[in-house]
Every structure is written in structure tokens, then in C-alpha cells.
Structure 1
């Protein structure tokens, strides 16, 4: 039986700590026999403080890592600015206990542990989108993808954050035992077997808005007229500049071309309408300036990784009504 060892470190997040046990212990062969054994360990046996107001007691110490086929490291409280805290000496020593070929999995910011240990150098990885820029600065040699829910690079797998740990564990079940087992596992856990799109749809993308600049008034005017088919000439004319001068100043002040900025603003407006209104998709497209539903779908898929209908289903303002008997 494949043995999964979950390494609980002080400050561990309880939700992510419980994901591997819930998913892998649910996976079963067609005859009902379990496919995984899940063991939780700490650097020592005994109490492990969580980031909540309680501790958990683990029966196994670090020696359990020596028996693992897969090791999962959930995230834990750590100040990313204090890099050395991600890989203190006891944790670094613990990782040397892994047998060759052991599969390593990180959830959320536990990717810092793998990166600090040098295990992700030159390899693709994921982490929580809110940590992407800090992670890139700290580990420029890691090929970070901030838009995906998880990355599978063979013996090293990294999940973006929180619920994406479920996505990754289900992916491992699918990789190990096929879609039928993974789909049944997902149904028993009451989660989708596969989520459409990636992490991009969850990322907050504030568009740069410097104030008191020569293009500020035109940007405000454009925001008030996003439903119009605005052209670069329209924007330059409003700013009373030549197209060339306006384009240069706009990029200097905003860091984007006028076209890039306008597209981002249209996508953000469409997101708000999809989240907060019941307008049909073609009306959302018109209100946000994309003109047609096909154009809106194209731009949302390119920017967020999902079409408007899927985005609305995920982020609609009101949850489905609950039937009470």
C-alpha cells in the first residue's frame, strides 16, 4: 500500500493539514480496499501547535519520513521576510531522511520549504498567488507559474493554496489509479473531480492608477465610457495630445500601453458585472466594451483562464437557494 506521510510543522494550518488524510483515505479500489495509508508526523512526536487556538497531537516523529512513498508538507505560519525560518536546521535534517524516489508535495506557501532546500531550482512550481512576487524575488531560479492551481513535475508537486491542495491530491489519485477512482473519491468528498481554469480567476488584479498625471483625466473619462468602442485616437483627442505623445506619456505614467490598460479595465468591469448582476453575457460584453459575447469569452479565457459563464458560476453574488422541508 502506498504510504503518504504528512509533515505537520508548528503553526500548521488545520484545513490544509487535513486534506491529504481526507482525500487519500477515501480513495479505494473497485473491491473497496484502501489504496493509501496516511500517517501524520512532526519533527518530534507529541503536540504540534496550529495557527488556530488549538494544538494537534501527532503519534509519529520524523522517523516516519523514512517510510514514506509520498511526503506532503502543508503550509504553516512563517514570516516570508525571514527566509531562514522556512528551513530551520531540524527541518533541513528531516528532509535528508527521505528515501531516493520519494514523491514530495507542498501545499500553498510550503513551497518556500522546497525552494529554500534548493529542490525547486530550475523546475516549475506553484505557490499562492498573493506570494508570487515575493517568491520570485527570493527564488529567481524557480520557474514559478502564478496562474495555475498546481504543478506536477514528476517527483515534485506544488499546489497554489488552500483548496488547490484538494485538486492536487485528487490529481495524484488520478495519476496513480486512473480517472474512475479519482472521480469516485471526489464524489465521496463532495468536491468536483477537476476545476475549470486555474488560479488566475482568483487573483485580484488592481490596474495601476497613478493620480495627478497628464493622462489621469482621460483615464477617468475612459472608465466612464467603457461601453464605447474607444480607440487610441479617441483617447489622444480627449487628452489634447498627438497619438504618439499620448502613447508615450501613458506608458511612462501607467506602465502599460493604452490598449493593455483598456483591456484590463474592461475585463475587471466584466468581472464585477458577472459577480453582482444577472445581466446576460451578451449584455455584460456590451456594457464592458467588448461588443460581443464571443469577444468577451476570448478575453476572459486569455486573462482568467475561464469563460464568463464558468466565472459567474463560481463567483455569483448569491448562493443557490437551499430547499427546506
Structure 2
């Protein structure tokens, strides 16, 4: 694929100006999102960003490269032009999200919050902690990120069950089940972790019927906020089906200061930081795909199956 003119936008656009020096054969245009206009898409045949701008249209584009692992901003509720290649950044997202999840599981089994409360009250109250080997974790999503979370938890001996659309085996999980068979597995889960992308089939996947199957499980969402029915989640917390929720993603971001989620005693909020794209991995990932396009590779690494949405 012969790509000659590339537009780069989004929060990293200034940092990515080094691409023009690393790749002098092509013309680059670096713009903040607010300054991108419709005519820019009639100039560029390549577009690099975290998401489409308000003025986005396919114009002369032949290639779109997402600077993050998720591509729902490009595909969800949007008809994709079939002859435009969509690729994404992989980098170390799996490791980052795996360590994020592991940190909360460890803090939970080691009773960090309990001991902190005892310290504030100047109380000496020994309690027996658990081992990760005693935990059952159900992970929704067995792709690049889900399998890395599973690998990390398995190293510590946790029993890790995967949930995917097909139920195809994956060596990092003790067993993988199709999503249609998930409900009988949830009552035994100590933690349920969502790593799924947002697609029409995962939109509000976690609703009352799913949460009602849990028996005091912890819930971590590092997938997409729109995959969770927040009212159903809070109802499940109130009824004791979900003991604790760790939420890194939300349907609307940034989360409104008026949202009652902020003050919920059984919810931990982080501002979509479980896997932030680093500058080096953004540059390396982009250049790696670009080299493959130059070489005319039939199968390009990190390409997205737009029919599946990931």
C-alpha cells in the first residue's frame, strides 16, 4: 500500500511530530483535534489518532491507525469503508492491565483496606489473609489483553476461567467457555474481570441477569464502560451479588463530577489509566505497521477485523 500523506491528531500529536523526522519520505500534518476539518481528509491517505474527530469522513483515506488498543471509537455504530485498512497499537497494554488487576486482587486478599482502618482506629486486630491460589477468576475476553491477565494470575496459582464468543481453548486459561455458558460459572467466581472490546454484542453485556448469578464476587472493568449497565451493577452491589467493583472505564468519560458513583463505598474509580499508550510504543507500533505496508505484506500485524469490531 502506497501511503504518502498522513494526518496525526489527538492528545499526543505534538510528541508524535518526531515521525516526520523518522519517516522523511512522506508528508505529515500534525493538528489538535479541534483544528481538524473535513478538507484534511481529502488531503490525507493515512490517519493516526485515538479516535475520529467530529469532522471525520473517509475522504481519500486508505489507512487508519489507532493509537490505542481499543477501536470502538472508530467502529461502534459506524459503517466502515471496506477498502480502508484499520490497524491498532498493541504495545505493553496486556502487561499493564494484568498488573493493574493483580494489584487489586492482592490488596483484597491481603486485607489492605481492613488493616488501614484498624491503623486509623489504633486497633491491633490480626486477621488471616488468603492466598491467590484459593481464588477463582472468570475473565471475559481471551484476546491479547485477557490472556495476559490470565497468565499473570495463573503464575500465582489462581484458577482462571476464560469466556469468549467461541469458547476456543487458550493455553493461558485452565478452561475457556463460550459466553452462552457463563451463568453456571459465576456463582463460584471470587473475581470477574472484563477485558472485552465494545461491539454490538458486548454493549450492556453485564446486566442484571449476569450480575444476579454472582455470589459476592469482586468485579473489575478494564474493557469498555458501555459494556456495563451501571444501574444493574449498583443494584447487584446493594443486594450483595457484587462485593466490590473496580472501574477504570465508563460509558461517559470523563466521569461527571455529579455522578453518584464517586462516593459509592464499594466502588473504586480510576480515570482510564490501566493501560495508557506510551510515546515509545505509539511510535514503534506505528512504524512497524508502516514498514509492513511498504513491503506489501498481505497480512498486516495488528490489523482489525472490522466485521468483528476488534
Same fold (TM over 0.5): no
Shorter-chain TM-score category? 0.3 to 0.5
User: Which structure shows the bigger proportion of residues in helix conformation?
Assistant: 1
Q: Which of the two has higher C-alpha Rg?
A: 1
The TM-score, its normalising length taken from structure 2, stands at: 0.33
| RCO comparison, higher one (Cα < 8 Å, 6+) | 2
The TM-score, its normalising length taken from structure 1, stands at: 0.32
User: Which structure shows the bigger proportion of residues in strand conformation?
Assistant: 2
